[in-house]
């Protein structure tokens, strides 16, 4: 099976070498968890390996993506000039530019993506849509239908895609479920504050036809280098959801009230 490397240090080993060609993979997580940085690596690695890349950006402008990539020493501008990369800007709509979306409309998106593919010529192609959530923000119920439509239309165009889904800050849930149901794989990013410091994690929740790693890994993002996978997380998923200190206090209070009820002295439970 042909697999496309993401190029994120330590990540491809978790999925038997890379994402199977033709897959549609959901990249999900709250804001600031590393989804865009991950997609930039995937795009840059494709360019390095001779693939065509179509990068749709809805939350940041094209310039912002180019600048972010440059911070990790990926020169996206030079690949745009060489006709190997098209960045479709869906944020700065209405600007007079061949590769700007006029509306956040999924059929316009598909039209532009196919145009970009034809523009660059044939060959293995990577697609990033960062994010898909933008296309159903005002109507989350259509998320599944829209995702299915996108997959069905693009299926025959030999694309291996990362589709980003934003998770709400408060609920840890997607704005409109749907993408996850249609995806061939799910890469989940998480963040948590432990002892006053932000930690980020990545977990492969699903990758069809792949014996993928089942553990959550801590990740780091460094200037000049970008993302790298560190050690498997020592925290259980419950610990990642509830701060450790909080769960310790809950256990303490439970134990105290149990002792009060049974009349057991404090040292007897040690
Ligand atoms: N040059 C850099 N050096 C170090 N960290 C960076 C750099 N650029 C971005 N980051 C980190 O990446 C984070 C943004 O991650 P991003 O992938 O944009 O999140 P999202 O999941 O919202 O797409 C920033 O908050 C910062 O911690
Ligand atoms: Mg982002």
Phi and psi, residue 227, nearest 5°: -90, 145
Residue (of 177, 154, 155) closest to 26 by Cα position = 177
Ligand 1 centre from 223 Cα, in Å?
9
Tell the residue nearest (CA) to atom 1 of ligand 1: 223
**Ligand 1: does its nearest atom lie under 6 Å from the Cβ of 73?**
no
Q: b or e along 176-203 (b: 16 or more beta carbons within 10 Å of the residue's beta carbon)?
A: bebbbebbbbbbbbbbbeeeeeebbbbb
Taking the domains of the chain in order of start, what are their residue ranges?
Answer: 3-234, 236-270
pLDDT confidence bin for 178, thresholds 50/70/90: confident
Give the β-pairing of 85-89 and 52-57.
parallel
pLDDT(16) > 80: yes
For residue 270, the model assigns a pLDDT of 41
**Nearest bound ligand to the CA of residue 60:** 2
- E strand or H helix at 15: none
Q: pTM for this structure?
A: 0.88
Tell me how far CA of residue 128 lies from CA of 1, 183, 263, in angstroms.
Answer: 21, 14, 62
Ligand 2 centre from 14 Cα, in Å?
22
- Kindly report, residue by residue over 189-237, the tens digit of the pLDDT: 999 998 899 999 999 999 999 999 999 999 999 999 999 999 998 766 5
Report the Cα 89 to chain-centroid distance in Å: 18
Q: Which residues neighbour ligand 2 (ion) by CB within 5 Å?
A: 36
Tokens of 136: 């159903």
**Nearest bound ligand to the CA of residue 74:** 1
The single-letter DSSP state of residue 4 is: E
Q: CATH homologous superfamily for 3-234?
A: P-loop containing nucleotide triphosphate hydrolases (3.40.50.300)
- Kindly report, residue by residue over 49-71, the tens digit of the pLDDT: 999 999 999 999 999 999 999 99
């Amino acid at each position: 099976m042909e697999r496309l490397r993401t190029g994120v240090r330590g990540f491809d080993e978790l999925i038997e070498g890379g994402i199977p060609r033709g897959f549609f993979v959901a990249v999900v997580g709250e804001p600031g968890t590393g989804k865009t940085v991950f997609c930039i690596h995937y795009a840059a690695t494709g360019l390095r390996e001779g693939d065509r890349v179509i990068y749709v950006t809805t939350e940041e402008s094209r310039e912002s993506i180019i600048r972010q990539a440059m911070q990790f020493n990926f020169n996206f501008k030079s690949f745009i000039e060489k006709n190997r990369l098209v960045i479709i800007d869906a944020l700065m709509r209405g600007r007079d530019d061949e590769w700007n979306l006029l509306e956040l409309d999924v059929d316009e998106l598909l039209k532009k993506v196919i145009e970009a593919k034809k523009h660059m010529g044939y060959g293995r192609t990577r697609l990033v849509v960062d994010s898909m959530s933008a296309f159903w923000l005002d109507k989350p119920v259509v998320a599944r239908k829209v995702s299915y439509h996108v997959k069905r239309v693009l299926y025959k165009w030999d694309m291996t895609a990362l589709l980003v889904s934003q998770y709400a800050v408060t609920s840890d849930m997607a704005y409109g479920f749907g993408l996850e149901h249609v995806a061939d794989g799910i890469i989940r990013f998480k963040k948590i504050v432990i002892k006053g410091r932000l930690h980020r994690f990545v977990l492969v929740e699903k990758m069809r036809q792949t014996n993928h790693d089942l553990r959550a890994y801590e990740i780091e993002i460094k200037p000049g280098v970008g993302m790298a996978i560190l050690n498997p997380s020592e925290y259980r998923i419950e610990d990642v959801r509830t701060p450790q200190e909080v769960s310790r206090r809950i256990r303490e209070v439970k134990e105290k009230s149990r002792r009060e009820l049974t009349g057991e002295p404090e040292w007897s439970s040690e």
